Structure 1
Amino acid sequence: MPRQSTMRSDQPVVDSLAVLGRVLIWMIGVASLTLIMASGAATRLDNTFYDLHMHHWSYRTGDAVVIVAIDAKSLSRLGNWPWPRAVHARLLDRLTDAGVRGVGIDITMAEPDINHPENDRALAQAIRRNGHVAMPVFAEAAELGGTLEEMLPTQEIASEASAFGHVDAAKDDDGVIRGAYLKAGLGRPYWPALALVVYDMDRETQKPVLPSLHRPDTDTESPYQWMRDDYVLLHFAGPAGSFDQVSYVDVLEGHVSPELLKGRWVFVGATASGLGDLLDTSASGGDERMPGVEYQANLLESVENASTLTPLNFTSQFVVGAALLTLPLLLYGLPGFRQMWTIALVALLACFGTSVALLRMVGWWWPPLSCVIVMAVGLGVFSALRKFRDRHNASR
C-alpha cells in the first residue's frame, strides 16, 4: 500500500516536468522563429509560395475599367513615338464625347513641345473640356548621377489637369511586383497612386481608408529621397491582357462604339513592346509581362472591389507563428498522434492552410515559411532524439 501511494504522489511531478519540457521546447521554437523572421531567410520561399497561390487565384474583371492601348497597331498607323500632343487632344475629345467616367493618362509629358507649342495648347484645352483627367508624377534625375526631381507634365498641360498621381511600380528585391504603394513622393509620400486619384475624381465623399502596411516614422527623411508608404498587395485579375483593351487608333478614328466607353474609367498608356514599362508580377506566368498601364488598372479595380490585400507587420506575423508552434506540442501524445510523421503532416499543413485562409477570407498575408522551417527542423530533431532514446533503452 505505501508503494502505491508513492507512485500516485510521483505522477503530478512527472506531469509537471512534461509540461515544463514542452514549454521550453516552445520557447526555443519561438526564439528560432524570431531569428528567421528578422533575418529574412525565408523571404524568397514565402514569395515563391505566394506567387504559386496567386497564379491560381485569378478572377474575371468587371466593366468598370478599360484600357486605351498604345499598341503595335496604333504605332504602325500613326507613326513613330512620340506622337504630337494634338493627337492626344483628339483622342481625349473622343473619350469626352463618349461620356467616360474619368481618364488616367500614363504618358510622360514633362518637356514642352518647343517647335509646336500649339500642340500643348490643344491638349490642355481638351483636358479642360473633359474635366476628369489625371496625369502622372514620377521621380527622375535630370542627369546621370544627379539628384532626383519630381517630373510633372508641362506647366500649360498640368494647369488643366484635375489631379496628379504617382506611377511608381513597387518592385520587390527579386524584381517581381506583388503590390503597390498608395502614396509616394520626394521627401515625403504625399502623391497618391495614379489609380487612386482616377478613382476619387468623381466622388463627392472621401473614400474609406484602405488597410495597408505603414512605413515606420523616421527622422532620416531627405528632400532628395523618393519616399513610399501605405503598401498593399494586389489581387491581380490575371496575367497581362486580363482587362478590356481597345486600340488607341481605333478610338481616335471612331471605330470603337461610344457605348463601350460610356461610364467607365479609362487608362491611356503603352502596351507595345519596347514602349513603356513591362513588369513581372505575382500573376505572371512564364515570359508574360504586364504593361504599367494595366498595373494601374489592377490597382483601381482592387480599390473599387475593396479587394486589396494587407501584409501583416512583424508583430502580427510573430503572433500567428508563435500560436501555430504550439500545435505539434498539443498534438503529441493524443490518440492518433503517436507517430511523428502524423504530427508533422498536420502541423505543416496547418501552417500553409492558415496562410491561405487568412489571405482568401480576411485579406491578410501571413508568410508561413519561417514557421514551417522551425516546425520541420524541430520535429526532425525531436524524432531523431526519440529514436536514439529507444535504441539506447533496447540495448540495455
Structure 2
Amino acid sequence: MASKAPIHTRKRYWHWLQYAGGLLIVMLLLVEKTGLLPFPLLERLEWQAYDMKVRSTLSEQADPSLAIIDIDERSLYEVGQWPWPRATLADLVNTLFTEYEAGLLGIDVVFAEPETSLWQQHWEELSRDYPALGELPPPVDGDEHLSNALAAHPVVLGYYFQASRQPSDPPSVGQLPRPAMVEETDPLPFPAPERYTANLPVLQQSAMSAGFFDNPRVDDDGVFRRVPMLQRWEGELYPNLPLAMLLSLLGEPPVTPVLGEGAGVTQLEALDAGGFEIPVDGRGAALVPWYGPRGHFDYISAVDVLEGRLEPGALAGKTLILGASAPGLMDLRSTPVGGVYPGPEINLSLLAGMLHQSIHAQPPWVLGFELVSLAALGILMVLLYPHLNALLLVAISSVLLATAIGGNLWAWYQGLALPIAGLLVLLVAQLLWHLAMNFLRETQQKRWVAERFGQYIPPQLVEDMVDSGESFGLEGEERELTVLFSDVRGFTAFSEAIAPAELTEVMNRLLTPLTGAIHQHRGTIDKYMGDAIMAFWGAPLHDAQHAEHALEGAFAMLGALDAVNREFIAEGKPALAMGVGLNTGPMSVGNMGSSFRMAYTVMGDNVNLGSRLEGLTKAYGVSVIVSETTAERVPNWCFRRLDKVRVKGRSAPLWILEPLGRREALGDSRREWHAAYEQALELYHAAEFDSSERAFKALTDQQDAPTQMYLERIEQFKADPPPSDWDGVWTHTEK
C-alpha cells in the first residue's frame, strides 16, 4: 500500500492544479467583462460572432415604400462630374415630388458652401460693358433655386459632426437645424462632438429638418455595426438623418429616453419617438438592422429621374434617400454584410428598422446576465471536468456549446443582441485546459499500458499505442486481424551439420533479421517455435491496413533471409528456404494463459488456417500463400490462384493464392503470363483437360512448380477421369 501513496498524492496535486487553472480562466473572463482588463481579441471575436448572426438572418424581402435615389456612375457619366449645379439638384427634387409624387426625401449630402458661377461673378461688369444685358434679369442663383425646391417639398437635409477638432481645422461651417425635442431629466451620455459642417442657412431654413450622417461609433475594425441616434452640441441634442426623417414623418413628436436597470445602475435602454421605440445602448447608439447585402432596397438612378424615364407616380408616397454609390464620391462603408456598402443604404436600413420595429435590443441587464452566466457555468465546469475522460469532456462541451449558440440565436430571433464570445471562449478554454491536464494525469496509466504491452510487442509499436490515444486492455476481444506463420525449410538437416554450441548463434542470426522485418511493418511477434515464427497484424494497435502490412512484412522476411543466406554461403553453409502463410479474419486476441504465465496472443479457426497455408507452401513450391480474405483486403496487389483446396480440419473449400507483387510494378510480360496461367486454370476447373494441358504447356515458364503440378494432375485425370460432379477441389489430408 505504501507504494500507492505517491500515486494518490500526485493525483491530488494534478486535481488541485486543474481546479486552479480552470478557476483562473473564469476570473480572467469576468475581469475582462467588467472592463478592468480588456482583451482586444475577445472583442473582435464578439464582433465576428455578431456579423455571423447578421448574415445568417438576412431578410429576403425589401420594404417597397423605401428606395434610394442613387448618384451612381451612370448618372455622373450622363449629367457630369460631381458636384452638380444646384439648379440640377433643384430640378431633381422638384421632379421627385411633382412628377413621381414622392412622400419624403432625405438627402445624404451636405451643401456647406455657396454656389457661384462665372455669370454671377461677372454680371455687373458685363452689364456695364454690354448695356443691352441690363434689360435682362440677373442669372438665377443656384442656391436660391435649390432653396425654393426645398421649401416646396418635405425634404430632410444631411450634415455631419466631427468628434474631435484638430488645431488646423477651420471653425464650424453652416447652420444646424432645430434640435430635437428630447425630454431629458438628467444629461445622458450621448456623443459630444467638437465641430460640425452643416448646410448653408438659406438651404437649411427652407428644408423641413436635417440629420447628421457621421458615425463616431465605428468599431475598431472599421466596420459599421451601430450608429448614435443623437449627438449633443452646446447642450442641445440633434438626431441622425434616419431619426430626423422618422420625426418628420410623425410630425416632429418629442423624443423620450427610456431608462432601465442594469447591474444596479440606471442607464439608457431605448428612445421613444412618437410611440416608435428604438432600442439603444447606454451611450445612445442603435444596432443597424441589416436586411440584406448591397442592393437589398430599390436603387433608382438619379439620371433616370432627371430624364423622366420612370412611369408617372412610380414613387408615389415613398420615402427616399438621395445619396451616392459611385466609388469616386467616397460614401462607401465596411459593414457586416459587405465590405463595400453605400452610406445611403445604411441610413435607409436604420430608418426601415425604426419603422418596422426590428432593431435588436441590448438591455441594461445584459452585462449582469453575462457575468452570472460566465460565473455559474465556469464554476460548474471547474468542479465537473476534472472527473471526466476525454470523450465525455468533448461530448458535454459540445452539448454546452450547442446550447449556448442555440440560446443566443433564439434570443436574436426574439430581438435581443446578446453577447456570445465570452461563453464560447469559456467553453473552449475550459475544454482545452482540462483535456491537457487530463492527458498529463493519465500519463501514469499510459505508462502502465506501455510497460505491460512492452513484454509482448516491439517498443516502436508501444510508442505508437501511447501516441494514438486509443484505450488498450489486456482482456480478450474479437477483432479482424491478419496472422502470419513462417517456417524455415530444411533447418533440421542444416542444424545437424553444425556444432550444437554454434546453433544458438545461427538461430539468433536467422531470427533477428526476420523479426526486424516484421517489426518494420508494424507486426506483433506472437511466439517463436524453433525456427518457425508466428506473428499478427491489427492488434493491440488498430491498423486498417493490417493485411497489406502483413504481406509487405512477408516479402521483407524473404529479403532478410536472402541476406542471411549470402552470409551462410560465404561461410560454407547451405542456403535456407522459407515458407510463409497469411490469413485474414476474425480472431480472438488478448492476454491468455494461466495464473503462472500469461501471453498476449491470438486464437481461433482463422489462426489455424494461417498455419495450414504455411504448410502448403512446400507442396506447391512457392514461398508465400495467402487466403482469399487476405487477397481481398489488398486490392493493389496482384495474385494468382494456386488451387481450390480443402485443408485438414475444415470442410469448406477455399482458394489459395500466391502474391505476384504490386500491380503497378508488374511488367507487360508478367501480366501476359499471369493472364495465360489463369486461362489455363479456368480450363482445368471446367474439366477441359486437353485444352488446359495445351494452355499450361504454352506458358513460357515451364519450371514453374504449380504449372508442373497441374500437368501431372491432368495426366492422371486423362488416364482416370474424375466423376461428373467433380468440383475441382483438391483435398489435403496432412497439416
TM-score (norm 2): 0.45
Match of 1:111 in 2: 113
Equivalent-residue separation in structure 1 for 2:308 and 2:329 (angstroms): 24
Equivalent-residue separation in structure 2 for 1:182 and 1:23 (angstroms): 46
Which of 194, 197, 220 is the matching residue for 2:244?
197
Match of 1:31 in 2: 27
Range 363-372 or range 26-35, more displaced: 26-35
Deviation at 1:244, TM superposition (A): 0.2
Equivalent-residue separation in structure 2 for 1:196 and 1:70 (angstroms): 22
The answer to whether the 8 A contact 1:328-1:347 is kept is no
Match of 1:291 in 2: 342
Residues 262, 120 of structure 1: CA spacing in aligned structure 2 closer, same or farther, 3 A cutoff? Answer: same
The answer to whether the 8 A contact 2:288-2:346 is kept is no
State yes or no: 1:238 paired with 2:292.
yes
SS at match of 1:289: strand
Deviation at 1:247, TM superposition (A): 0.9
Equivalent-residue separation in structure 1 for 2:97 and 2:379 (angstroms): 60
Which of 272, 288, 298 is the matching residue for 2:326?
272
Equivalent-residue separation in structure 2 for 1:250 and 1:178 (angstroms): 32
Range 200-209 or range 257-266, more displaced: 200-209
SS at match of 2:327: coil
The answer to whether the 8 A contact 1:328-1:343 is kept is no
After TM superposition, the structure 1 = structure 2 runs for residues 342-353 of structure 1, keeping only pairs within 5 Å, are 342-353=395-406
Decide which structure has the larger Cα Rg and report it: 2
Match of 2:44 in 1: 44
SS at match of 2:249: coil
State yes or no: 1:255 paired with 2:306.
no
Match of 1:369 in 2: 421
Match of 2:354 in 1: 303
Equivalent-residue separation in structure 2 for 1:22 and 1:306 (angstroms): 48
Equivalent-residue separation in structure 2 for 1:354 and 1:188 (angstroms): 42
Equivalent-residue separation in structure 2 for 1:30 and 1:187 (angstroms): 44
Which of 392, 407, 425 is the matching residue for 1:339?
392
Equivalent-residue separation in structure 1 for 2:438 and 2:382 (angstroms): 15
Deviation at 1:43, TM superposition (A): 0.9
Deviation at 1:310, TM superposition (A): 2.6
The answer to whether the 8 A contact 1:32-1:374 is kept is no
Range 206-215 or range 111-120, more displaced: 111-120
Equivalent-residue separation in structure 2 for 1:188 and 1:392 (angstroms): 70
SS at match of 2:229: strand
Residues 335, 383 of structure 1: CA spacing in aligned structure 2 closer, same or farther, 3 A cutoff? Answer: closer
Match of 1:54 in 2: 54
The answer to whether the 8 A contact 1:95-1:261 is kept is yes
Residues 188, 54 of structure 1: CA spacing in aligned structure 2 closer, same or farther, 3 A cutoff? Answer: farther
SS at match of 2:413: helix
Cα shift readout 1:360-391 (whole Å, capped 9, x = no counterpart): 22x22222222222222223333444454455
Which of 165, 173, 192 is the matching residue for 2:220?
173
Residues 342, 48 of structure 1: CA spacing in aligned structure 2 closer, same or farther, 3 A cutoff? Answer: same
Residues 304, 155 of structure 1: CA spacing in aligned structure 2 closer, same or farther, 3 A cutoff? Answer: same
**Aligned residue identity for 2:161:** A
> What residue ranges of structure 1 are gaps of 5+ in the alignment?
1-20, 216-229
Range 379-388 or range 303-312, more displaced: 379-388
Cα shift readout 1:283-334 (whole Å, capped 9, x = no counterpart): 11xxx51111111111111111111123455334323433544664798699
Identity %: 26
**Aligned residue identity for 2:152:** R
The answer to whether the 8 A contact 1:139-1:186 is kept is no
The answer to whether the 8 A contact 1:105-1:267 is kept is yes
Match of 2:150 in 1: 127
Aligned length: 358
Taking CA–CA contacts closer than 8 Å with sequence separation of 6 or more, which of the two structures ends up with the larger relative contact order? 1
SS at match of 1:195: helix
The answer to whether the 8 A contact 1:166-1:194 is kept is yes
After TM superposition, the structure 1 = structure 2 runs for residues 4-19 of structure 1, keeping only pairs within 5 Å, are none
Cα shift readout 1:33-75 (whole Å, capped 9, x = no counterpart): 2133331340111212222232232112111211110111111
Range 135-144 or range 49-58, more displaced: 135-144
Equivalent-residue separation in structure 2 for 1:181 and 1:316 (angstroms): 24
Match of 1:154 in 2: 200
Residues 23, 190 of structure 1: CA spacing in aligned structure 2 closer, same or farther, 3 A cutoff? Answer: farther
**Aligned residue identity for 1:85:** R
Which of 178, 182, 188 is the matching residue for 2:229?
182
Residues 354, 70 of structure 1: CA spacing in aligned structure 2 closer, same or farther, 3 A cutoff? Answer: same
TM-score (norm 1): 0.80
**Aligned residue identity for 1:368:** I
**Aligned residue identity for 1:372:** L
Residues 258, 236 of structure 1: CA spacing in aligned structure 2 closer, same or farther, 3 A cutoff? Answer: farther
Range 45-54 or range 328-337, more displaced: 328-337
Equivalent-residue separation in structure 2 for 1:311 and 1:146 (angstroms): 38
Deviation at 1:273, TM superposition (A): 1.2
Deviation at 1:114, TM superposition (A): 3.6
Equivalent-residue separation in structure 2 for 1:68 and 1:194 (angstroms): 15
Residues 383, 80 of structure 1: CA spacing in aligned structure 2 closer, same or farther, 3 A cutoff? Answer: closer
Equivalent-residue separation in structure 1 for 2:248 and 2:312 (angstroms): 21
Match of 2:282 in 1: 214
SS at match of 1:210: strand
Equivalent-residue separation in structure 2 for 1:42 and 1:332 (angstroms): 23
SS at match of 1:42: helix
> What residue ranges of structure 2 are gaps of 5+ in the alignment?
1-16, 121-139, 172-193, 254-273, 449-735
Residues 323, 233 of structure 1: CA spacing in aligned structure 2 closer, same or farther, 3 A cutoff? Answer: farther
SS at match of 2:63: coil
Match of 1:13 in 2: none
Residues 307, 84 of structure 1: CA spacing in aligned structure 2 closer, same or farther, 3 A cutoff? Answer: same
The answer to whether the 8 A contact 1:99-1:263 is kept is yes
Equivalent-residue separation in structure 2 for 1:259 and 1:337 (angstroms): 68
Identify the structure with the greater strand proportion. 2
Residues 152, 318 of structure 1: CA spacing in aligned structure 2 closer, same or farther, 3 A cutoff? Answer: same
State yes or no: 1:318 paired with 2:344.
no
Deviation at 1:354, TM superposition (A): 2.5
Deviation at 1:134, TM superposition (A): 0.6
State yes or no: 1:88 paired with 2:58.
no
Residues 162, 326 of structure 1: CA spacing in aligned structure 2 closer, same or farther, 3 A cutoff? Answer: farther
Deviation at 1:180, TM superposition (A): 1.7
Equivalent-residue separation in structure 2 for 1:49 and 1:119 (angstroms): 49
Equivalent-residue separation in structure 1 for 2:236 and 2:406 (angstroms): 35
Cα shift readout 1:15-38 (whole Å, capped 9, x = no counterpart): xxxxxx999998655423213333
Range 379-388 or range 21-30, more displaced: 21-30
Residues 144, 245 of structure 1: CA spacing in aligned structure 2 closer, same or farther, 3 A cutoff? Answer: same
